[in-house]
Amino acid sequence: QVQLVESGGGLVQPGGSLRLSCAASGSIFSINAMGWYRQAPGKQRELVAAITSGGSTNYADSVKGRFTISRDNAKNTVDLQMNSLKPEDTAVYYCLIATPAIGYWGQGTQVTVSS
C-alpha cells in the first residue's frame, strides 16, 4: 500500500517562508516525476513545480524565482521550499509521485499567507 504523507503547511505572513515535505511509504517503482500541485478555493488544481528522476525541473510562472523543488530518489521524497510568499499562494498543496501507470497523491496540506 503506497501512501504519501505531507507536512510543513501552516499560516505565514506575506514575504515569509515555508518548506513542504512529502514522504512516501510502500514500494514504488518506475517513477517518472515528482511534483507539487495546489488548489485554491474556487479554482482548479494547478501544477506548482515538478522534478524528474534525472533532476530536470519545471515551475509555474507565478512561482519562478521564489519556490525550489528538490527530491531524494532513493527515499522517494520530494520537498518544496517556498520563499517570498504572497497571499495568492494560499491553497491546499498536494504532492504527486507519477509512475507510468498511476499518480500517487498526498492528502494535501494547507498553506495560508495572510497578515
Distant-in-sequence, close-in-space partners of 79: CB < 8 Å, separation ≥ 6: 19, 20, 21, 22, 69, 70, 71
Grid-cell match 500517487, residue found: 104
Question: How large is the average pLDDT for residues 105-112?
Answer: 97
Cα 108 to Cα 4, 13, 21, 29, 115, distances in angstroms: 9, 20, 11, 22, 23
Q: How confident is the model at residue 30 (pLDDT cuts 50, 70, 90)?
A: confident
With a cut of 80, say whether residue 108 has pLDDT above it: yes
pLDDT value of residue 19? 98
Of 1 and 67, more confident:
67
Mean pLDDT in residue range 36-44? 96
Confidence of residue 25 (pLDDT cuts 50, 70, 90): confident
More confident position, 38 or 27: 38
Using the predicted structure, report yes or no on whether residue 78 has a pLDDT greater than 80. Answer: yes
Average confidence score pLDDT of the chain: 94
Would the pLDDT of 27 be above 90? no
Name beta bridge partners: 24. 4
